[in-house]
Homo-oligomer: A and B are copies of this chain.
Amino acid sequence: MSKTGAEESLTWEELREMGPRERAREFEVYGRLFHVLLAQQFDRALLDELGVQATRIRHIAKSKAGMDFLRSQLSHKTAMLYFTQPSSRTFLSFHSACQMLGMKTVEVRDTATSSEIKGETQEDSIRTFSSFADVVIMRTAVGGLAEKMAWMLSHTERPIPIINAGSGKDQHPTQALLDVYTLQRSFEKRGGIDNKTVLFVGDLARGRTVRSLAQLLTNYRGVRQLFVAPPQLQIGADILELLDAAGVQYELGDDFEAMLPRADAIYMTRIQDEWDQQAGESRQLDLARYNFGVRHLKLMLPHAVLMHPLPRRQEIATEVDGDSRAVYWRQVRNGMWVRAALLARIFNCCGPIREFHGA
């Protein structure tokens, strides 16, 4: 079914050595979404389609008749939530998306209590668990594990899709999806994402979400990207090369208040001090300059939106929450809608949803 299941397929070792774009292509399935592993799998057509579908689902979900319809769509399917790295937020979002479409769910959270202590390999363990599910949504601390399991399952009698819900430091493709969907919604009546200016603020070096979103935005025309951070935490050279290659306009800086009035979207981030090389390293930076307080509301464009992937610390003052341009709480629910759209796409029930919405 998947390319990697074909006879001329690559070994895991060969696949592993390729770049993310090439790997994304390998996991593509002739016009159909199967495994969801890398942000690089999403092109503009797919992003737009998922956004439209997420909005349909959101509208349908407003009524009981609509919810009952949605919950009948995948009532025959079971999702395994394999979350060995804790993440309440992402867990709840996927769990809700599954329930929205009527999927049964089953959870594996702690592998220490399981057969691994009897000497089973992780491959055998996940293959066993996958026996009881129609899709595995996987979050682990191990970079590349979701891809490896996808490759492995593609070579069995019973291949089922794997969705990467965050693996290691690098990939968390559905987080980037929800950010794109939040931008799509925010600019729905203002021509969409094309030609907008997005300002990223905070820990741009280590924030997985910023790195993914910056890349996905290259799918849109004329988007300007502004990066404001302490010099030690600026966006990585690899991302800038990628933007250069895509012909994207960008600017780096460290003066938040100067950049703020130019942005259509402001994307605040948390300092990820859990990745500090030396303990307390981040605390020596003057981070207060990169926080959003009440006084910054006046500097924002009237139609701009203020985003944050959450959890936050002091990057955004709680007094800001009441402003209608603060959309980070809405972002949380957007994750649920777009993940439901993704599941609908994987399991081919987009047609009935479109028809129900149109009726």
Residues of A with Cβ closer than 8 Å to B? 63-64, 66-68, 71-72, 75-76, 78, 86-89, 92-93, 95-96, 99, 104, 106, 108, 111, 113-116, 118-120, 123-125, 127-129, 131-132, 156-158, 270, 274, 310-313, 318, 321, 329, 332-333, 336
A75 interface neighbour in B67, B114, B119, B311, Cβ under 8 Å: B67
Copies of chain A in the complex:
3
Q: Are B274 and A132 in contact (CB under 8 A)?
A: no
Q: Are B96 and A132 in contact (CB under 8 A)?
A: yes
Q: Are B312 and A132 in contact (CB under 8 A)?
A: no
Known contacts A157-B329, A336-B132; A124/B310 CB under 8 A: yes
Task: Give the nearest-CB partner of A73 in chain B.
Answer: B64
Task: Give the nearest-CB partner of A121 in chain B.
Answer: B318
Known contacts A96-B78, A113-B88; A274/B118 CB under 8 A: yes
In the assembled complex, the Cα of A295 lies from the Cα of B63 at a distance in Å of 59
Q: Are A333 and B131 in contact (CB under 8 A)?
A: yes
12 extra interface residue pairs, beta carbon distance < 8 Å, beyond A67-B75, A71-B75, A131-B336: A68-B75, A71-B76, A92-B106, A92-B108, A92-B129, A118-B274, A120-B311, A124-B311, A124-B312, A128-B310, A131-B332, A156-B321
Q: Are A120 and B156 in contact (CB under 8 A)?
A: no
Known contacts A311-B118, A312-B120; A96/B106 CB under 8 A: yes
In the assembled complex, the Cα of A120 lies from the Cα of B99 at a distance in Å of 27
In the assembled complex, the Cα of A131 lies from the Cα of B93 at a distance in Å of 9
Which residues does chain B contribute within 8 Å of A120, judged by CB atoms?
310-313
Q: 6 closest A-B pairs (Cβ-Cβ)?
A: A67-B76, A120-B311, A86-B113, A88-B114, A115-B311, A119-B313
Shortest Cβ distance from residue A288 to the other chain B in the assembled complex, whole angstroms: 15
In the assembled complex, the Cα of A127 lies from the Cα of B313 at a distance in Å of 14
23 CB-based A-B contacts, threshold 8 Å:
A63-B76, A64-B75, A64-B76, A71-B76, A78-B96, A87-B115, A88-B108, A88-B113, A88-B114, A89-B114, A92-B108, A93-B132, A120-B310, A120-B312, A120-B313, A123-B318, A124-B310, A124-B311, A128-B310, A131-B333, A131-B336, A157-B329, A158-B329
In the assembled complex, the Cα of A274 lies from the Cα of B313 at a distance in Å of 36
In the assembled complex, the Cα of A95 lies from the Cα of B106 at a distance in Å of 8
Which residues does chain B contribute within 8 Å of A86, judged by CB atoms?
113-114
In the assembled complex, the Cα of A312 lies from the Cα of B64 at a distance in Å of 43
Task: Give the nearest-CB partner of A88 in chain B.
Answer: B114
Shortest Cβ distance from residue A7 to the other chain B in the assembled complex, whole angstroms: 13
Shortest Cβ distance from residue A228 to the other chain B in the assembled complex, whole angstroms: 21
Which residues does chain B contribute within 8 Å of A106, judged by CB atoms?
92, 95-96, 99
A129 interface neighbour in B71, B88, B156, B318, Cβ under 8 Å: B88
A128 interface neighbour in B95, B108, B158, B332, Cβ under 8 Å: B332
Which residues does chain B contribute within 8 Å of A92, judged by CB atoms?
106, 108, 128-129, 131-132
